[in-house]
Amino acid sequence: MEISREEIQAHLDKKIFRLISETADEMGVACYLIGGYVRDFFLYRPSKDIDVVAVGQGIELAKAVAEKLGKMGKKSRISVFKNFGTAQIKYKEYEIEFVGARKESYRLDSRKPIVEDGTLEDDQRRRDFTINAMAFSLNRERYGELSDPFHGMQDLEDLIIRTPLDPDITFSDDPLRMMRAIRFASQLGFDIYPDTFDAIGRNKERISILSMERVIDELNKIILSPKPSIGFILLERTGLLDIIFPELTALKGAETKDGVGHKDNFYHTLTVLDNIARQTDNLWLRWSALLHDIAKPVTKRWDPRLGWTFHNHNFIGERMVPKIFRRMKLPQNEKMKYVQKMVSLHMRPMQLVEEVVTDSAVRRLLFDAGDDIDDLMTLCEADITSKNPEKVRRFLNNFKIVRGKLEEIEEKDRVRNFQPPVDGNEIMEIFGLPQCREIGLLKSAIKEAILEGEIPNEREAAFQFMLKKAADMGLTPKVERRVGK
C-alpha cells in the first residue's frame, strides 16, 4: 500500500487540521492525528470522529483551538472531561477528541486505567490494535508524517486484526477490546491474528467486569456490519457468545432420530440475519431476524408421526424478547414491541403461502402487522434458507402472490391499522350503557365482521351490523341517531 506523504498532506489539507497545527506550534506542543481517522484514510472509508493526541497538554490544546474558532466567528462547542483527561470539540460535521499522550496500567478488577503522562509511543502502545495505533504528525515541520511503530500498515495490507502488545495483557486490561476485535473483523472483513484470537478465548471470562451497555454497543455494531454472521461466528468460537447471549448459542446443533434430522438453527439464524443485512440497515429488523427462532430449543419435540416439531416457537419467542431485552439493557419501548411483533408474526405469511390465500387471512395479517407489514414480508423472505433452488424459487414466487394480495386487500378494504367505524363511546351513548362487557363484545363483533369480509370497512355498514348484533344480545337503542353522524 504505497501512499506518499504528499498524498497524506493533501488529505489533511483541511482548515480544522491546519488550525490545530498552527495552535500546537504556537504552544510548542507535539500533536498527532491517531486511531480510526488514520486507519480509515488508508481504507478509503469516510470518518468524522477525529482523535488528536498531544504530548503533554491535550485539554489545553483543545481550549486554545476552541478559543481561536470563536475569534474567527466559527460555531463550535467544547466539552471538557477532566476525570478522563480529555476534551471534545464539535465543529461542523466533526467530533474532535483531544487527549494528552499517556501510558496506562490496570487493576485486575477494573477496566479503568491508572494514567500517567507519556510519550507518543507510550500512547500508541496502549491502543487496542496495530491498525488503530498509527498516527499522522500535525506539526508544521513534520505535517503528514506517519508514525507506525507496530506495523499497522502491514496489518492493513494483510487484512489482520492484531494487538500492539501481548494480547493476554491487552484483553485482560480492557476486556471490551475482545468485542472490538470481533467487531472490526465483522465490519472490515479482516481476520483476527491467531495469537490474538486465542487470547480472546483465554480471557473471555473477563467480559463479566464490563457493563452490559458497553457490550451491547459493540454487539449492535456487529449486527449492523455488512455480513453480521462473521462476528457472531467469531463470538461463538471464542466462547464470548455463551456468556453474553446464551439463548443464541442454545440454537446450535442438529439432532437426528430414526433417520430424520432438523437444521442447525444457529447457522440458519445467521443466514437469515445476513439475508436481512443485504436488504436493510434497520437495526431492529436485524434484531428480529436474530430472535425469530429463539424459542426453538425450548419448543423442540420429537413426534413419531411428524418428526421434529417446534410448535408455537413464534409465540413463546415473543414472550422471551422482553426478558432478553431487559438483561441486555436494550430499550423497553416501541422498539422492543416491534421486535416482539416480528417474532410473533414471522410464521403467518409462510402459512399463507402453504395454504389457499383467503381474503380473510390477508385482512387479519394486515390488521395485526399494521405499518410493519413490509418489514414482516422482508423478514419472511429472508427466512427462506433452503439449499434447494427450486424450493426457494417456488416460495419466493408464492410470496410475490401474497404481496400482491396484500396490496389488493389494503386498497379495497383499508384494514391496515383500522379502528372500528363505531367506537365504544358511541355504543355507550346509543344504548345508555356504562363501561361493561357488552361494549367490548359489540366492538369485537364489528372488527371480526370486517376482517371476515361480512361487511365492508364503512361506517353505515358497521352501524347497521351493530344494531342487529345488539338486538340479538337484547340491547335496545336509547338514543336516536342518524347513521352518517
**Digit-coded pLDDT (tens) for 165-223:** 999 999 998 999 999 999 999 999 999 999 999 999 999 999 999 999 999 999 999 99
pLDDT at residue 105, rounded to an integer: 61
Query: DSSP of 93-114, one letter per residue?
Result: TEEEEEEE-EEEE--TT-SPPE
Same domain membership, residue 223 and residue 148: no
The answer to whether 375 touches 416, Cβ cutoff 8 Å, is: no
Q: pTM of the full predicted structure?
A: 0.85
Same domain membership, residue 227 and residue 113: no
pLDDT at residue 71, rounded to an integer: 86
pLDDT at residue 408, rounded to an integer: 80
pLDDT band at 138 (very low <50, low <70, confident <90, very high): very high
Same domain membership, residue 169 and residue 148: no
Q: How many CB atoms lie within 10 A of CB 323?
A: 10
Range of the domain at 429: 424-472
Q: Where are the alpha helices (DSSP H) in 28-97?
A: 36-42, 58-71
The answer, yes or no, to whether residue 162 has pLDDT greater than 80, is yes
Give the CATH number for residue 230: 1.10.110.30
For the chain, the first-to-last Cα distance in angstroms comes to: 75
Give 328-346 pLDDT, tens digit per residue.
999 999 999 999 999 999 9
Query: DSSP of 224-256, one letter per residue?
Result: TSSSHHHHHHHHHHHTHHHHH-HHHHTT----E
Instruction: Work out whether the CA dihedral 147, 151, 155, 161 comes out positive or negative.
Output: negative
pLDDT at residue 356, rounded to an integer: 66
pLDDT at residue 115, rounded to an integer: 64
Give 385-441 pLDDT, tens digit per residue.
888 888 888 888 888 888 888 888 777 767 666 677 788 888 888 888 888 888 888
pLDDT at residue 151, rounded to an integer: 96
Same domain membership, residue 149 and residue 10: yes
Q: How many CB atoms lie within 10 A of CB 85?
A: 15
Cell numbers at residue 453, please?
369480509
Same domain membership, residue 215 and residue 89: no
**Cα(346)–Cα(376) distance, integer angstroms:** 7
The answer to whether 287 touches 339, Cβ cutoff 8 Å, is: yes
- For residue 80, the surrounding DSSP H or E stretch is strand 76-81
Strands 76-81 and 49-54 turn out to be: unpaired
Same domain membership, residue 199 and residue 184: yes
Cell numbers at residue 249, please?
448459542
The answer, yes or no, to whether residue 56 has pLDDT greater than 60, is yes
